[in-house]
C-alpha cells in the first residue's frame, strides 16, 4: 500500500478521495535526458573504442588475468580483472587504478566468493591474448587495440564485450571551477554522417576533460543534487550474436520479452514508488534486479551487472558483422547476416563488476545465478495459502467479522493483513490504542482457528520525541544523514520521518531485535510482517525518493546504495522474525522494493496496481520476469489496488491469482469493500471453487518451492524454459508453466467467450485438469470458456500430489491424505516428486523432511525416497490414485516393501480413460509398488 501524495509547499496533502483518471504523472520521474549521466553515457555512439588493453602489462595468476586499459583520449588508465569461475561463469571487473577515493563495490549480495577456475594462455599474437576459461571448453580472446573481449564456446562466438566501443568510465576528479569551461559542452555527434562522427571523436580526443552542466550538481524539478564527487558513471556494451530474445532486468510493467529501446528511453533500474504506474513501458518501478537473460534455440546466456546505483539498460537489435566484428567474423556462422542483440549498461557510480553466465541451458543459468546470489527461501507452508488484505481492516471487531465471514461462507484462507492504520499514528511496532487495544486477544482468536496475521512495518520512522523507536535510533546515531551531517528527514505516512540506515549492520541488528515478543508489544508467533515503502519512498524527495547526496554508513552516498536499501530492510526484518523464535521458525516477510538476492528473504509483490484488465494481464509477465531472476515468491494484488473492480474482473483475478505463487487480495482505502461474499452467491461459489483449487495443490506448490530452494528452479516459468527450442513460446505472456507439470492460461479478457490455448511439446500429450480431456501437442486451439473456467493442463508424463479435502486453513490440512494424479505420456510413463516437512521450522535443515519420488512405468507405480537422509513422521496416507490416459486393467495390486501384497479396488471411466484406484491406504512415507495387470 502506498500513495505518493502531491506536495503543496512543505505540507503533504493526505486526501483520500478517489482519483478518477489513472495515469502516472510522468513529469515526476526522470527520463534519460533528464539524468545527466545517462545523457553523457548515451551520447557516446558505437564506434572504435578509445580504450586499448596494454597486453604487454598483462599479469596472469592462477585465478585471474589483470590488464591495464588505457584511454587514448586522456591517458587515464583502468584495471581490468577477468576471472574464470566454476560452473561456466566469467567475472569481469573494471575499476580505476588509483581513484581519488574508493568507489563503491556492492556488498552482501553475493552469497560467497565465487570459486575461480584455472586460466591458461592458449595463444597469443601482437594484438590478441587467448585464454582457456577452466574446464568447460570456453575461451576468452582479449584484443588489445581497440579493446574488446570475446567469449567462444568451441568455434561459436557466444558474446562480446566492448565490441561497439561503448566502455565509458568517468574517473573521479577534482572540480575545476571555472565558468568558461562549464559552457564548453562537447558537440553532439551527428548520426547521419558517420565520417563526421569519426572526426568528431578525434577532435574530442584532443580536448582536455571538460566540465559540463550536470556534472557537479544537477537540478530536477525543485530538487538539487549536490554532487561532491562529480561525474562518476560507468558504462559498457555487450553483443550477443544469434540472439533475438532477451528477458529479465525487472521491475518494469512490461512484456516478458524485452523491447528494443532505440528511439525511446532505456529500461531504468532505480527503485521508485511510482504512483499509479503505467503499463507497457521502460520506466523504473519499486525493485531492481540487474540480471538479463538471452535465449535462442541453441543456448541461454545471462549478464549480471552487479551495481546498486541508478542504472539504465539499452537494448538494440542488429545484424552481427555490421557492428565491427573485425576478426571475429570467422567465428560467425552464415557470414554477416546473423541477428544480434546489443545490450548497453550505464550506472551512475560504483565500478564495473559483471558476471557472464554461459549456460548453456536455462536451468544452467538458474543454477549459475543461484550460486552467486542464493536461492528462494523456503516459505512457511501457510504463506502459500490465500491472504486477505485491505487498507485497512479498521479495528479488532472488523478483523473478527471478516475472519468469521470466511467460516460462515466456507471459504478457506490463512492470513488476514493489517495496513498502516493499525499502528498508533503510523508509529510502527505499536497499535492504535482505540482500534486495536488487545492485539494479543485478536491474535489468539486467529490462532485458535490456526490462522495468522501480517502487520505492516515500514522503514520511515515518525520523528516524535515520545516514540521509543525514534528515540533509540537517534540516540544510537543510526539514521541516514543529509550531506551536511544532520539526520535526514522526509515526509511519509507519519508526516515528518527519518530513515534508519539499514546498510549499517548495527542498525540491522537493532531492528531485528525489535521483533522479539517483549519489544514488539502485542505481537505473537502467528504475527508476520510486511515491509512497504522501502525504495525508500520519500513523498517530498526527488522522484518521491531519497536525495542521492544523503550519506550512509561508511561515508557512502545514497547514490551508491539506493537500489540495495529495500533488500536490507527486508533482510533485517527477516532476521528479526528468525531471532524471536530462537532461530527455530521460518519467517514470512513481504517486500515491495528488492534487489538481486532478495529471494533469500521472502516474498515480493508488484506494488500498487489498478483494478483494470490490463493490470490483471500484466501480472503474468511481471511475475515471470521476477521468476527468471531468482525471485519465485511473486504475486500481484488480486482485484487491483486502486479503483474498484467490476465483479467479472474480480472473479477472473481470483482465478489467475490462485495460480500465481503469492496469492493475496488487497485494496485501496477509498475503494468499497470487496470480500468474497459481497458479490452474490454465484460469484462467491466461483471464488470458493478457486480457493479450493489453490488449497488442493498446496503440496505441489510446496514441492516446487523446495526445488526453488535446493536447485534455484523458478516456480512459475515461461514456456520457453520448459520448451527451449520451441520459438513460438519465446514471447508468450498469456500462459506459463508451474514447475514442469502444469500449464496455466488464465482468462484475462473481459467478457471472454473463449481463449486461444497453445500446448507445446513434440509428441507430448496434455490433460485438462478439470475434465481430463486429452490433447496431443503441439497444437493451438480455441477453448470456449464460462465464468467458471480456469484453463489448466497437466502434462502427460507428470505426477502431481494433491490434498483434495476442503478445509478452513492450510494448517488444518496438515495430516490429510493425498491423492496422486498420474498423467501418462505417450510411452505410458509418468514421474513426480513430493517434498514434505513440518511446514514451519528449520528442522528440515536437520534432515526432518521427506522427499518422495513417484515413478510410473510399464504398468507399475513405484514410490521411493529421493533423499534417504530425510526422515519425517506423518500420519498422511494415500487415499486415491488417479491414473489419466490409461487403458482398463483387469486387476490392481499393492505391494509393500516387506513383501505383503493386496489387491485394490478401482473404477475405470471409459469416456475419459481414467482409472481411480480406491484407498491404497499406504503412508506417504512408505515405499510401495502399485501394479496394473
Q: Which residues bind ligand NAG (CB under 6 A)?
A: 87-88, 136-137, 153, 360, 364, 831, 855, 857
Minimum CB separation of residue 125 from ligand NAG in Å reads 26
Q: How far is CA 412 from CA 407, 696, 785, in A?
A: 8, 11, 25
Minimum CB separation of residue 369 from ligand NAG in Å reads 11
CA distance 380 to 660: 16
Helix (H, G, I), strand (E, B) or coil at 649: helix
- Phi-psi domain of 134 (left: phi exceeds 0; alpha: psi -120 through 50; beta: other): left
- Name the residue nearer to ligand NAG (CB basis): 526 or 862: 862
Minimum CB separation of residue 87 from ligand NAG in Å reads 4
Which of 815, 818, 656, 861 minimizes the C-alpha distance to 738?
Answer: 656
- Name the residue nearer to ligand NAG (CB basis): 158 or 567: 158
- Phi-psi domain of 528 (left: phi exceeds 0; alpha: psi -120 through 50; beta: other): beta
- Name the residue nearer to ligand NAG (CB basis): 209 or 853: 853
- Name the residue nearer to ligand NAG (CB basis): 516 or 929: 929
Three-state secondary structure readout of 167-215: CEECCCCCCCCCHHHHHCCCCCCCCCCHHHHHHHHHHHHHCCCCCCCCC
Minimum CB separation of residue 629 from ligand NAG in Å reads 18
CA-CA-CA-CA torsion sign (689, 691, 697, 701): positive
Minimum CB separation of residue 922 from ligand NAG in Å reads 18
Identify whether 682 is a catalytic site residue: no
Minimum CB separation of residue 857 from ligand NAG in Å reads 4
586 contacts 378 by C-beta, under 8 angstroms: yes
Minimum CB separation of residue 799 from ligand NAG in Å reads 11
- Name the residue nearer to ligand NAG (CB basis): 50 or 117: 117
Cis previous bond, 67, omega within 30 = no
**CB proximity list for 827: less than 8 A, separation 6 or greater:** 797
DSSP 599: G
Instruction: For 274-428, list the strands marked E by DSSP.
Output: 291-295, 300-305, 311-319, 339-347, 352-357, 386-388, 415-418
Task: Count the Cβ atoms, other than its own, within 10 Å of residue 535.
Answer: 32
- Name the residue nearer to ligand NAG (CB basis): 133 or 658: 133
* Pairing mode, strands 267-269 and 217-220: unpaired
Which of 507, 375, 287, 378 minimizes the C-alpha distance to 111?
Answer: 375
Which of 144, 146, 147, 151 minimizes the C-alpha distance to 129?
Answer: 144
598 contacts 574 by C-beta, under 8 angstroms: no
**CB proximity list for 868: less than 8 A, separation 6 or greater:** none
Task: Count the Cβ atoms, other than its own, within 10 Å of residue 816.
Answer: 17
**Catalytic pick among 532, 560, 637, 733:** 532
Identify whether 254 is a catalytic site residue: no
Minimum CB separation of residue 413 from ligand NAG in Å reads 37
- Name the residue nearer to ligand NAG (CB basis): 359 or 761: 359
178 contacts 385 by C-beta, under 8 angstroms: no
Minimum CB separation of residue 866 from ligand NAG in Å reads 9
- Name the residue nearer to ligand NAG (CB basis): 268 or 852: 852
Q: How far is CA 115 from CA 110, 154, 375, 793, in A?
A: 12, 23, 17, 41
CA distance 548 to 537: 13
- Name the residue nearer to ligand NAG (CB basis): 153 or 388: 153
Minimum CB separation of residue 16 from ligand NAG in Å reads 53
Minimum CB separation of residue 31 from ligand NAG in Å reads 39
236 contacts 344 by C-beta, under 8 angstroms: yes
* Exposure on the CB side of residue 301, measured as CA atoms within 13 A: 25
Minimum CB separation of residue 313 from ligand NAG in Å reads 25
**Catalytic pick among 314, 342, 414, 608:** 608
Minimum CB separation of residue 196 from ligand NAG in Å reads 43
- Phi-psi domain of 890 (left: phi exceeds 0; alpha: psi -120 through 50; beta: other): alpha
Q: How far is CA 435 from CA 392, 395, 456, 853, in A?
A: 11, 4, 16, 50
Which of 130, 140, 323 minimizes the C-alpha distance to 241?
Answer: 323
To the nearest 5 percent, what fractions of the chain are helix, strand and coil?
Answer: 20, 30, 50
For the chain, the maximum distance between any two Cα atoms, rounded to a whole number of angstroms, is 96
**CB proximity list for 464: less than 8 A, separation 6 or greater:** 425, 427, 470, 494
315 contacts 237 by C-beta, under 8 angstroms: no
- Name the residue nearer to ligand NAG (CB basis): 923 or 929: 929
Catalytic positions, written as ranges: 532, 608
Amino acid at each position: 500500500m502506498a500513495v505518493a501524495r502531491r506536495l503543496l509547499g512543505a505540507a503533504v496533502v493526505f486526501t483520500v478521495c478517489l482519483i478518477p483518471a489513472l495515469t502516472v504523472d510522468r513529469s515526476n520521474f526522470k527520463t534519460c535526458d533528464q539524468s545527466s549521466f545517462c545523457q553523457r553515457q548515451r551520447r557516446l555512439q558505437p564506434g572504435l573504442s578509445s580504450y586499448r588493453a596494454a597486453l604487454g602489462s598483462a599479469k596472469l595468476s592462477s585465478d585471474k588475468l589483470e590488464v591495464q586499459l588505457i584511454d587514448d583520449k586522456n591517458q587515464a588508465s583502468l584495471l581490468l580483472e577477468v576471472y574464470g569461475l566454476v560452473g561456466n561463469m566469467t567475472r569481469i571487473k573494471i575499476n580505476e587504478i588509483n581513484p581519488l577515493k574508493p568507489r563503491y563495490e556492492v556488498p552482501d549480495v553475493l552469497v560467497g566468493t565465487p570459486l575461480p577456475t584455472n586460466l591458461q594462455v592458449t595463444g597469443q599474437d601482437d594484438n590478441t591474448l587467448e585464454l582457456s576459461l577452466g574446464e568447460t571448453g570456453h575461451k576468452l580472446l582479449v584484443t588489445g587495440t581497440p579493446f574488446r573481449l570475446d567469449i567462444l564456446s568451441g568455434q561459436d562466438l557466444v558474446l562480446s564485450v566492448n565490441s561497439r566501443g561503448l566502455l565509458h568510465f568517468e574517473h573521479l576528479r577534482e572540480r575545476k571551477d571555472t565558468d568558461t569551461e562549464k559552457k564548453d559542452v562537447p558537440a553532439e555527434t551527428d548520426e547521419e554522417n558517420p565520417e563526421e562522427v569519426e572526426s568528431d571523436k578525434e577532435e574530442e580526443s584532443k580536448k582536455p576533460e571538460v566540465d559540463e552542466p550536470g556534472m557537479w550538481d544537477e537540478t530536477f524539478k525543485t530538487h538539487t543534487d549536490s554532487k561532491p564527487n562529480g561525474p562518476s558513471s560507468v558504462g559498457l556494451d555487450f553483443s550477443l550474436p544469434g540472439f533475438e530474445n532477451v528477458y529479465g532486468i525487472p521491475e518494469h510493467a512490461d512484456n516478458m520479452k524485452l523491447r528494443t529501446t532505440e528511439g525511446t528511453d532505456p529500461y531504468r533500474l532505480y527503485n521508485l514508488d511510482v504512483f499509479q504506474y503505467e503499463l507497457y513501458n521502460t520506466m523504473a518501478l519499486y525493485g531492481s534486479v540487474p540480471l538479463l537473460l538471452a535465449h535462442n534455440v541453441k543456448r541461454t546466456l545471462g549478464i549480471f551487472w552487479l551495481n546498486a546505483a541508478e542504472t539504465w539498460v539499452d537494448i538494440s537489435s542488429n545484424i552481427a558483422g555490421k557492428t565491427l566484428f573485425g576478426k571475429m567474423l570467422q567465428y560467425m556462422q552464415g557470414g554477416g547476416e546473423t541477428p544480434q542483440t546489443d545490450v548497453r549498461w550505464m550506472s551512475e557510480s560504483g565500478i564495473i563488476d559483471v558476471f557472464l553466465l554461459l549456460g548453456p541451458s536455462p536451468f544452467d543459468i538458474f543454477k549459475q545465478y543461484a550460486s552467486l546470489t542464493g536461492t528462494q527461501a523456503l516459505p512457511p507452508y501457510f504463506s502459500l495459502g490465500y491472504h486477505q488484505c485491505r487498507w485497512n481492516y479498521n479495528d479488532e471487531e472488523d478483523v473478527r467479522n471478516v475472519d468469521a465471514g470466511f467460516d460462515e461462507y466456507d471459504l478457506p484462507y490463512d492470513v488476514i493483513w493489517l495496513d498502516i492504520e493499525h499502528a498508533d499514528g503510523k508509529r510502527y511496532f505499536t497499535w492504535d490504542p482505540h482500534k486495536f487495544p488487545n492485539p494479543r486477544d485478536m491474535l489468539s482468536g486467529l490462532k485458535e482457528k490456526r490462522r495468522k496475521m501480517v502487520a505492516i512495518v515500514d522503514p520511515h520512522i515518525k520523528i516524535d520525541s515520545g516514540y521509543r523507536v525514534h528515540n533509540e535510533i537517534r540516540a544510537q546515531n543510526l539514521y541516514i544523514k543529509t550531506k551536511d551531517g544532520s539526520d535526514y528527514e522526509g515526509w511519509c505516512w507519519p508526516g515528518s520521518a527519518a530513515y534508519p540506515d539499514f546498510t549499517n549492520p548495527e542498525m540491522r541488528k537493532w531492528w531485528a531485535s525489535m521483533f522479539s515478543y517483549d519489544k514488539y508489544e502485542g505481537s505473537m508467533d502467528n504475527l508476520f510482517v510486511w515491509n512497504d515503502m522501502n525504495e525508500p519512498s520519500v513523498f517530498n524527495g526527488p522522484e518521491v525518493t531519497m536525495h542521492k547526496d544523503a550519506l550512509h554508513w561508511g561515508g557512502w552516498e545514497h547514490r551508491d546504495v539506493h537500489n540495495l536499501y529495500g533488500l536490507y530492510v527486508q533482510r533485517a526484518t527477516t532476521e528479526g522474525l528468525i531471532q524471536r523464535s530462537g532461530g527455530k521458525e521460518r519467517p514470512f516477510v513481504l517486500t515491495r522494493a528488492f534487489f538481486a538476492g532478495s529471494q533469500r528473504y521472502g516474498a515480493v509483490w508488484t506494488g500498487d496496481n489498478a483494478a483494470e484488465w490490463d493490470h490483471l494481464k500484466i501480472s503474468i509477465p511481471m511475475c515471470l520476469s521476477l521468476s527468471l531472476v531468482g525471485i519465485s515468491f511473486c504475486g500481484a494484488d488480486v482485484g487491483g489496488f486502486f479503483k474498484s473492480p467490476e465483479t467479472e474482473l474480480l472473479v477472473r483475478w481470483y482465478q489467475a491469482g490462485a495460480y500465481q505463487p503469492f496469492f493475496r487480495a488487497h485494496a485501496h482505502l477509498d475503494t468499497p469493500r470487496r470480500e468474497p461474499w459481497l458479490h452474490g452467491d454465484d460469484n462467491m461459489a466461483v471464488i470458493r471453487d478457486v480457493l479450493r483449487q489453490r488449497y488442493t495443490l498446496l503440496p505441489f506448490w510446496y514441492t516446487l518451492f523446495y526445488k526453488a530452494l535446493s536447485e534455484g528452479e523458478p516456480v512459475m516459468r515461461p514456456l520457453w524454459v520448459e520448451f527451449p527450442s520451441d520459438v513460438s513460446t519465446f514471447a508468450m505472456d498469456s500462459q506459463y508453466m508451474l514447475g514442469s507439470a502444469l500449464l496455466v492460461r488464465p482468462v484475462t479478457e473481459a467478457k471472454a467467450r473463449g481463449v486461444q490455448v497453445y500446448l507445446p511439446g513434440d509428441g507430448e500429450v496434455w490433460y485438462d485438469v478439470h475434465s481430463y480431456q486429452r490433447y496431443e501437442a503441439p497444437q493451438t486451439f480455441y477453448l470456449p470458456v464460462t465464468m467458471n473456467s480456469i484453463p489448466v493442463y497437466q502434462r502427460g508424463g507428470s505426477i502431481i500430489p494433491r490434498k483434495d479435502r476442503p478445509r478452513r486453513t492450510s494448517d488444518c490440512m496438515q495430516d490429510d491424505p493425498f491423492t496422486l494424479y498420474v498423467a501418462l505420456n505417450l510411452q505410458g510413463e509418468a514421474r513426480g516428486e513430493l517434498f514434505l516437512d513440518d511446514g514451519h521450522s528449520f528442522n528440515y535443515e536437520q534432515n526432518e523432511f521427506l522427499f518422495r519420488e513417484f515413478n510410473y512405468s510399464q504398468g507399475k507405480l513405484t514410490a521411493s525416497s529421493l533423499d534417504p537422509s530425510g526422515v519425517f513422521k506423518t500420519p498422511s496416507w494415500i487415499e486415491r490414485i488417479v491414473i489419466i490416459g490409461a487403458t482398463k486393467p483387469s486387476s490392481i495390486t499393492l505391494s509393500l516393501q516387506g513383501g505383503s501384497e493386496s489387491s485394490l479396488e478401482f473404477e475405470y471411466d471409459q469416456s475419459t480413460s481414467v482409472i481411480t484406484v480406491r484407498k491404497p491406504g499406504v503412508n506417504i512415507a512408505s515405499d510401495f509398488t502399485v501394479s496394473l495387470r
